């Protein structure tokens, strides 16, 4: 009974390797895409910094390119700081989630090939050990690079958005 359960778990875990590897590759590609989006946003923020400061002081521009929280305020109007903070969290959500799940997927993709690698070790098949370890280490490297990239992007955006929220609060402190 237990040996059948162990065999079933082994078979199921091996079938999960391909979807996990595909998810890691997809998240890696998404992190590359987000890096491009991040640098585009950074350049827009620098280019339109004067518009942003003008809006903070005089509230007289129609948009602040590169400043999504302030643009939300311009478009939706000020109802409460809670709504603005929820919008900011939503803007950070994707990269924040990827930062957390990609190392988990990397660990899963590392552990799944270890079973076949240990079986190969027991059978004396050095090539089988090597093939499985290559997959395991490549997967964890991709996952960790993905996590590091999205962590950096999320951290900088948190600072940007916190500054925007602070400026909004100062603009509406008397209202």
Instruction: Give 92's contacts (C-beta < 8 A, 6+ positions apart).
Output: 154, 157, 158, 161
pTM, entire model: 0.87
Number of folded domains that form the chain: 1
Structure tokens that stand for 141 in this block: 């490297």
Residue 29 vs residues 9, 78, 160: alpha-carbon distances, Å? 30, 36, 24
One pLDDT digit (tens) per residue for the chain, 175 residues: 888 888 888 888 889 999 999 999 999 999 999 999 999 999 999 999 988 988 888 877 777 889 999 999 988 888 889 999 999 999 999 999 999 999 999 999 999 998 888 888 888 888 888 888 898 999 999 999 999 999 999 999 999 999 999 999 988 886 5
Residue 88 vs residues 79, 135, 136, 146: alpha-carbon distances, Å? 15, 37, 36, 22
pLDDT of res. 151 = 98
Domain with 94 in it: 2-171
What gap in Å lies between CA 138 and CA 78, rounded to an integer?
A: 48
């Amino acid at each position: 009974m237990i040996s059948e359960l162990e065999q079933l778990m082994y078979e199921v875990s091996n079938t999960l390797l391909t979807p996990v590897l595909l998810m890691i590759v997809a998240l890696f590609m998404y992190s590359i895409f987000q890096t491009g989006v991040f640098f585009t946003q950074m350049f827009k923020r620098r280019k339109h910094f004067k518009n942003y400061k003008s809006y903070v002081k005089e509230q007289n521009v129609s948009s602040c390119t590169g400043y999504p929280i302030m643009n939300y305020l311009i478009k939706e109007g000020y109802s409460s700081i809670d709504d603005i903070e929820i919008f900011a969290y939503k803007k950070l959500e994707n990269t924040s989630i990827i930062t957390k799940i990609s190392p988990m997927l990397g660990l899963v993709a590392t552990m799944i090939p270890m079973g076949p690698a240990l079986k190969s070790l027991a059978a004396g098949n050095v090539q089988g050990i090597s093939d499985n370890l290559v997959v395991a280490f490549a997967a964890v490297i991709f996952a960790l690079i993905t996590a590091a990239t999205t962590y950096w992007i999320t951290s900088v955006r948190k600072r940007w958005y916190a500054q925007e929220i602070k400026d909004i609060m100062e603009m509406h402190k008397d209202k």
